[in-house]
Copies of this chain bind each other. A is one copy, B any other.
């Protein structure tokens, strides 16, 4: 249960330092994703990165610090991919569509995302929570705006964001990660969209359900 704040190493001051650090990060991502945190050793990471064992400690204070860094990096990348994809959409439904497509595509290309985030539960609950919070707040903001425009029904954007995020997560796990195809089957995608449409549709389906 190490809750100690490891004071992070200062950023590299030379080009060489930056290069080595980047190599270590990339190697760490690969190792964490393939063998998992428990079996990921510093030796393995440094070997894959092609640097000496001691070099690791020049750049990181320990295994947890580099793990955190890897998570933050992946998180940033997936959010960027999703928002880039959905920002051009004309309406909310279209934005959902593009956002989810981007998410599944990212998952297909970087299975490390799932595999690593799920381990963060113990390794580093703070960064894990941060990851979900970050995705969620962008998502909730989008829903909120759409609600203002009357494109979707009135609901708590935060709850909706978490629920939809969860739906996407498990669908991605089941059909992108676990299926050999490596990309989501179109019918599954359409089904998911139909569910989302139903959930967000402006007209409440049961009559007279007002707050």
A residues with a Cβ closer than 8 A to B are: 1, 34-39, 114-115, 118-119, 121-123, 129, 132, 153, 155-156, 159-160, 162-171, 173-174, 178, 187-188, 191-192, 194-206, 209
Nearest CB in chain B: distance from A82 CB, A: 16
The interface residues of chain A, by DSSP majority, are classed as helix
User: Nearest B residue to A188 by beta-carbon distance?
Assistant: B159
Please tell me if the beta carbons of A171 and B178 are within 8 angstroms of each other in the complex: no
Q: This chain: how many copies in the complex?
A: 2
- Residue numbers in B under 8 Å from A195 (CB-CB): 155, 159-160, 163, 199
Give 5 CB contacts A-B under 8 Å: A36-B121, A132-B170, A165-B170, A166-B170, A205-B205
- Residue numbers in B under 8 Å from A201 (CB-CB): 198, 205-206
